C-alpha cells in the first residue's frame, strides 16, 4: 500500500486475496460478481453515492479483486440503505444490495467498523431486541442506540420526541410475542444450520 | 380465497410512529367491505438490520410469519403495508425457491418448533390489493367526498416497487397516482417518486438522511405539489417528522403535509375523518385540517 501526498491509496496485486473474492461470489445474489462491466450504472442509480467514500461501482471492483481491507473498513457499506436501485438497474444482474449485506455481516463479525458509528450499533441493538422479545419497539431501540454511540444526540431529538408524543405516535410499550421460547429455539436452530 | 378477507401483518411501525397508517388502512378497508384479520402472534420482520447481521436468522423471522399465516388460514393472502415487511417476506419466499440450501435450512429450523414447513402464501401490499381486487372503476363509483385540496405528489419509495415488480412497475410506478385520480385528486408528475428516503439514516447519520428528504420535499414543491402521499410508515415518518430539522439544516423552512394514500382514499370514499389518523401528522397541520375537515365550506376555510 502506498499513500500519496493528496490522500489517495495505491495497491498492487500481491496485496489482494482472490480466494476471498471467490468466497463472496458463492453467496446468494453475488454469483454474477465477476461479470461486472464497471459501467457505473449502480453508482448513477444510487441516491447515496455522493456521500460514500467508494461508490458502489468501486466497491464491486475492490471485492472482485479481493481487496477486502478496503471493502470492509469503508463508510460505503453502512451508508447503503438497501433501496435496491442498483440491483434493478444492473445490466449484469449483480445483486449489489446482497453484496453490501455480505460486507456488513463480515465487518460486524470481525469488528471492522468504528465502534461509535450509529448504523452497525443500531443493527446490533435491533437484532438483540428482536431475539429477546420477538418484536422491536422504536423508542427503546433509538434510546439504546443513542446511549451506545453519543448520548448527547438525545438532546437534538427532544423536540421531535415531544411532537411524536403529542400526536400519539411515541409508544413507550415494550412489545413482545407470546411464543417467545419457540422463536428463540428456531433462531438458534437457524444459526446452527448456517 | 374467501371474498374480501385478508390476513394482516402490521409490523412494528404501524403500532408506533405509523399508527395513522393502520387507522386509515382499517377505515378504508371497512369502506370497501374488505376484512383484515391480524396475523396472530406475528414477529418482527427483521427489516434491513437482521440481514446485516445474520442472513439465516433474517430469513427465519419471515419464514415463521409465513408459516403462521398458513396455519391461521391457508386460503387468505397476507397483507403487509410496510415496505420493509413486504420486501423481507417476499425476498424470503423468493430466495427459498431459488436456493434449495436456504429452503432446507428454513424447513429444518421451523420444524424444530413444530410449525408447518414454509409454503407459498401470497404476500400482498394494500396498494395493489385495492388496485387489483377492487379496481379503479369500483373505486371511482364509490366516491363520496369531492376533493378540495391541492395537487399531490405520489411517492413510492424503494422496497415496495423494487426488486419485486408485483405491486407496481419499478421504474415508473403509477398505481397510486391512478387510484387518487380515480377519486378526483389531482397528482403531479414526480420524477423522484422511487428515490429512497434513506430509511433509518435520518436517525443514524442525520446530515445525510435529512438531506435526502430535503431533496424529495423541495422537488415535490417545485413540481407544484402541496403535499406528498406515501405508502410506507418509514417514508412518512422521515418526510413528516423531520421537516423541522430539515428546515434548520438547510435554512429553508418547510411545512408540507405528508399523508398516507389510505388517508386520502379513505376520506374520498367517505370514511369518517376522525378514523383516519389525520391529527397525527406533524407537518402541514393547518392545510390538513382545512382539506379534510367537515363538509360545510364555511367551516372548512376558517
pTM summary value: 0.94
Where do the domains of chain B lie? Answer: 5-126, 136-292
Report whether A103 contacts A95 (CB < 8 A): no
Fold match between B5-126 and B136-292?
Answer: no
Round to whole Å and give the CA distance between B189 and A128.
42
CATH of domain B5-126: 1.20.1050.140
Long-range contacts of A20-25 (CB under 8 A, 24+ apart): A20/A66, A20/A68, A21/A63, A21/A64, A21/A65, A21/A66, A24/A63, A24/A64, A24/A99, A24/A102, A25/A64
Which residues, at least 6 apart from A128, have a Cβ–Cβ distance to it below 8 Å? Answer: none
Write the pLDDT tens digit of every residue in B186-245: 999 999 999 999 999 999 999 999 999 999 999 999 999 999 999 999 999 999 999 999
Average pLDDT for chain B = 93
Least confident of A1-5, A78-82, A168-172: A1-5
- Inter-chain CB proximity A84 and B163 less than 8 Å: yes
Q: What is the pLDDT of residue B115?
A: 59
Mean predicted confidence (pLDDT) in B65-80: 93
- Inter-chain CB proximity A85 and B196 less than 8 Å: yes
% of chain B residues with pLDDT over 70: 94
Mean predicted confidence (pLDDT) in B125-148: 97
DSSP state of B295: S
Q: What is the per-residue DSSP string for B165-208?
A: -SSS-SSS--HHHHHHHHTT--B---TTTTS---TTHHHHSHHH
CA R_g for chain B: 19
Surface of A (82-141) touching B: CB under 8 A: 82-85, 87-88, 95, 97, 101, 104-105, 108, 118-120, 122-124, 126-127, 130, 134-139
Mean predicted confidence (pLDDT) in B10-26: 97
Report whether A183 contacts A127 (CB < 8 A): no
Report whether A194 contacts B55 (CB < 8 A): yes
- Inter-chain CB proximity A190 and B56 less than 8 Å: yes
Give B299: exposed, middle or buried? Use CB within 10 Å, 0-12, 13-18, 19+. exposed
For A168, phi then psi, to 5°, come to 70, 30
B contacts of A101 (beta carbons < 8 Å): 51-52, 55
Which residues, at least 6 apart from B229, have a Cβ–Cβ distance to it below 8 Å? Answer: B152, B153, B154, B155, B176, B180, B187, B258, B259, B260, B261, B264
Residue B59 has pLDDT above 80, yes or no: yes
Write the pLDDT tens digit of every residue in B144-201: 999 999 999 999 999 999 999 999 999 999 999 999 999 999 999 999 999 999 999 9
Q: What is the pLDDT of residue B1?
A: 44
Handedness of CA A118, A121, A122, A123 (dihedral sign): positive
Q: What is the ipTM of this complex?
A: 0.94
**CATH classification (class only), B136-292:** alpha beta
Q: What is the pLDDT of residue B107?
A: 86
Mean predicted confidence (pLDDT) in A53-77: 97
Round to whole Å and give the CA distance between B21 and B127.
12
Q: What is the pLDDT of residue B108?
A: 86
Report whether B239 contacts B210 (CB < 8 A): no
B contacts of A47 (beta carbons < 8 Å): 195-196, 198, 212
Write the pLDDT tens digit of every residue in A74-133: 999 999 999 999 999 999 999 999 999 999 999 999 999 988 899 999 999 999 999 999
Round to whole Å and give the CA distance between A65 and A45.
23
Q: What is the pLDDT of residue B118?
A: 65
Surface of B (25-64) touching A: CB under 8 A: 41-44, 46-57, 59-61, 64
Amino acid at each position: 500500500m502506498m499513500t500519496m501526498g493528496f490522500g489517495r491509496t495505491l495497491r498492487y496485486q500481491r496485496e489482494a486475496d482472490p480466494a476471498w473474492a471467490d468466497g463472496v461470489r458463492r453467496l446468494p445474489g453475488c454469483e454474477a460478481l465477476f461479470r461486472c462491466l464497471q459501467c457505473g450504472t449502480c453508482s448513477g442509480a444510487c441516491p447515496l453515492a455522493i456521500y460514500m467514500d467508494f461508490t458502489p461501482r468501486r466497491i464491486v471492483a475492490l471485492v472482485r479483486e479481493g481487496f477486502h481491507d478496503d471493502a470492509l473498513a469503508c463508510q460505503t457499506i453502512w451508508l447503503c440503505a438497501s433501496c435496491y436501485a442498483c440491483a434493478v438497474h444492473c445490466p449484469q444482474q449483480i445483486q449489489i444490495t446482497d453484496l453490501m449485506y455480505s460486507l456488513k455481516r463480515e465487518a460486524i463479525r470481525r469488528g471492522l467498523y468504528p465502534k461509535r458509528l450509529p448504523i452497525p450499533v443500531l443493527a446490533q441493538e435491533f437484532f438483540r431486541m428482536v431475539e429477546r422479545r420477538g418484536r422491536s419497539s422504536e423508542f427503546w431501540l433509538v434510546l439504546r442506540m443513542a446511549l451506545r454511540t453519543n448520548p448527547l444526540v438525545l438532546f437534538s431529538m427532544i423536540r421531535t420526541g415531544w411532537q411524536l408524543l403529542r400526536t400519539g405516535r411515541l409508544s413507550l410499550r415494550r412489545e413482545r410475542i407470546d411464543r417467545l421460547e419457540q422463536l428463540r429455539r428456531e433462531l438458534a436452530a437457524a444459526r446452527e444450520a448456517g | 380465497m374467501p371474498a374480501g378477507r385478508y390476513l394482516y401483518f402490521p409490523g412494528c411501525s404501524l403500532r408506533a410512529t405509523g399508527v395513522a397508517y393502520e387507522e386509515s388502512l382499517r377505515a378504508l378497508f371497512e369502506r370497501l367491505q374488505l376484512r383484515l384479520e391480524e396475523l396472530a402472534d406475528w414477529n418482527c420482520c427483521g427489516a434491513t438490520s437482521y440481514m446485516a447481521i445474520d442472513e439465516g436468522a433474517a430469513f427465519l423471522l419471515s419464514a415463521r410469519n409465513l408459516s403462521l399465516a398458513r396455519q391461521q388460514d391457508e386460503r387468505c393472502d397476507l397483507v403487509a403495508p410496510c415496505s420493509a415487511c413486504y420486501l423481507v417476506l417476499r425476498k424470503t419466499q423468493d430466495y427459498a425457491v431459488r436456493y434449495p440450501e436456504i429452503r432446507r435450512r428454513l424447513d429444518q429450523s421451523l420444524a424444530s418448533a413444530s410449525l408447518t414447513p414454509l409454503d407459498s402464501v401470497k404476500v400482498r401490499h394494500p396498494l395493489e390489493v385495492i388496485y387489483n381486487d377492487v379496481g379503479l372503476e369500483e373505486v371511482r363509483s364509490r366516491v363520496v367526498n369531492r376533493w378540495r385540496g391541492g395537487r399531490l405528489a405520489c411517492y413510492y419509495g424503494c422496497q415496495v416497487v423494487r426488486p419485486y415488480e408485483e405491486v407496481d412497475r419499478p421504474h415508473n410506478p403509477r398505481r397510486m397516482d391512478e387510484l387518487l385520480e380515480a377519486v378526483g385528486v389531482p397528482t403531479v408528475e414526480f420524477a423522484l417518486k422511487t428515490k429512497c428516503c434513506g430509511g433509518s439514516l435520518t436517525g443514524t447519520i442525520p446530515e445525510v438522511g435529512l438531506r435526502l428528504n430535503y431533496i424529495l420535499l423541495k422537488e415535490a414543491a417545485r413540481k407544484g405539489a402541496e403535499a406528498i402521499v406515501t405508502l410506507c410508515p418509514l417514508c412518512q415518518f422521515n418526510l413528516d417528522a423531520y421537516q423541522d430539522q430539515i428546515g434548520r439544516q438547510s435554512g429553508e423552512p418547510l411545512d408540507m403535509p405528508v399523508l398516507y394514500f389510505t388517508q386520502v382514499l379513505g376520506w374520498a370514499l367517505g370514511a369518517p375523518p376522525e378514523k383516519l389518523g389525520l391529527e397525527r401528522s406533524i407537518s402541514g397541520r393547518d392545510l390538513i385540517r382545512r382539506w379534510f375537515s367537515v363538509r360545510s365550506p364555511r367551516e372548512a376555510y376558517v
